[in-house]
Every structure is written in structure tokens, then in C-alpha cells.
Chains A and B, each alone.
Chain A
Amino acid sequence: MTEPMVRERPLSPHLQIYRPMLTMVMSITNRITGGALYFGMALFVLWLAAAASGADAFATVQAVYGSWLGLLVLIGFTWALMLHTLAGIRHLIWDMGLGLDLKSIEWGAVAVLAGSILLTVALWLYVLLRGTAT
């Protein structure tokens, strides 16, 4: 039997080697926002469950979500949802084999980031300027 080879295998360069670039930041942001939305969905379901439980439970949840901390979480939730949705559409475009050249990829990263911020600001301006609904 020959001895198993034991020697240092070459490692490919990893995160700490590369200069941070917008495209890689947007890539990990898509995953992080996905992870955040995973728990955000529980907040939405909690709101629905409170509505199903009755007026008192609903008022409690509304008060918590309407507090400054609640609003901060909801604004973050909105931004995460906008970014993950736009980034997801970008992925679906890639899956069709489109926009895989460097220029489109760079442009797409900027578009997703800018679009997610613009949409979040627009949605919250609408909600806050309108005041209470119905």
C-alpha cells in the first residue's frame, strides 16, 4: 500500500484577499436580506394572527409595530423585501442567460441598490404623509 499523500493543498483566494466590490456586496446582501425576510414573515403572520384573535390583540400588535423601534424594523423589512425582490428578478434574468456581460452585471448591481432605496423611500413617504388609512 502506498502512503496517503499528506501535504498542504493550495487554497483559492477568499474574501480577505479580494478588494470589496459592489457586485460581491450585492450578492451577499441578497442572501442576508433573504435571511432577514425569513423572520420578517413571522412578523407579518403575527399581525394576521392578532387580527384574527380580536380587536384587543390587534391593537397591542399595532402599538408595538407603530412604536419607533417597530417602525425602524418595518422600514428595514420594507428595504429588505424591495432589495431581495429586485435582486431575485436580476437572478431570474441571469437564469435566462441574459445580461451576463460585465457591463450589465455592474449596472444591475447599482440598479438593484438604487431601486430598493427609492422604492422604500417612496412607499414610506406615501404611508407617513397620508397618515392613518381609510
Chain B
Amino acid sequence: MTSFRTPLGRVLGSGSAKSGVHHWWMERLTAIAAVPLVIFLIGFILATAGGDHQSVVAAIRHPVVAVLLILAIIIIVRHMQLGMQVILEDYVHGKLALLVGLLANTLFCIAVAAAGVAAVTAIWFGA
């Protein structure tokens, strides 16, 4: 197949990293999965909002609720990471600033997901 890249582009190594479709596709997959999970989250919050500590803990201890909460956290945080990556790539132009931004994005998302999953697990298996 004929290459559409210019010789200069090839030597500089600029161009597609061959991961664009994967990013696009994962953004869609996580979006589709997030729709029912968001509906679940709203139902969960409506059921627990304003309740005391005991009632909230009791609700999260139900295995179906705990598993759905963990799934929602993981799926939505992955979607967050992909979305914020595009925002950073669009608006941050400095190479170093972009690198720092993307790293911060990844670390923030890992921290949020880890804290969320840890919290649900602690409540689920807590004494």
C-alpha cells in the first residue's frame, strides 16, 4: 500500500501512534456502560440521600449494590480519564505541560478509583 506520509514526517517519527481508534472506541464503550450505571447511581443516591450512617452502610453492604458501585466507579473513572485526556490534548500546547497534565490526569483517576473501590470494599466486608 502506498504511504501517504511525507518522507520528512517519517524520519521525524511524527504522526499516528496507532492508538486513536482504541481511544475512541473505549470512550464509546465506557459511555454505553455508564448509562445504566448512572441510572443505578441516581436510584442508589435517591434511596440513601439524607439517611443516617447506619442506613447508608446497610445499603452498601448488599452485594448487588456493592458490585454495581464498584463497576460504576471503575467504568466512569476510565471514561473520565479518556475524556480529560482529549481536553488536555486540545488545549495544552507545550510538550512538557501536556506530559505533566496527562500524568496528573492518570494519577488523579487512579487515586479516585482506588479510593472509591477501597471505600465500598471496606464497608462491604467491614465488621
Contacts and interface: CB of A to CB of B under 8 A. Distances in A.
Interface string A68-112: 000000000000010001001101100100000000000000000
A134 B120 contact: no
A35 B76 CA distance: 13
A87 to B, nearest CB: 10
Interface of A, secondary structure class, is helix
A58 B51 CA distance: 11
23 contacts: A34-B80, A38-B80, A41-B76, A42-B112, A44-B116, A46-B115, A48-B60, A48-B115, A49-B119, A51-B57, A52-B118, A81-B38, A81-B42, A85-B34, A85-B35, A85-B38, A88-B34, A92-B28, A92-B32, A127-B49, A133-B48, A133-B55, A134-B48
A84 to B, nearest CB: 9
B38 to A, nearest CB: 5
Interface residues of B, number: 38
B83 A131 contact: no
B13 interface: no
Name which of A37, A44, A54 has the most chain B CB atoms within 10 A of its CB: A44
Interface of B: 28, 31-32, 34-35, 38, 41-42, 46-57, 60, 69, 73, 76-77, 80, 83-84, 87, 112, 115-116, 118-120, 122-123, 126
Given A38-B83, A45-B115, A123-B42, A51 B47 contact: no
Interface residues of A, number: 33
Interface in A116-134: 123, 126-127, 131-134
A118 to B, nearest CB: 14
Interface of A: 31, 34-35, 37-38, 41-42, 44-46, 48-49, 51-52, 54-55, 58-59, 66, 81, 85, 88-89, 91-92, 95, 123, 126-127, 131-134
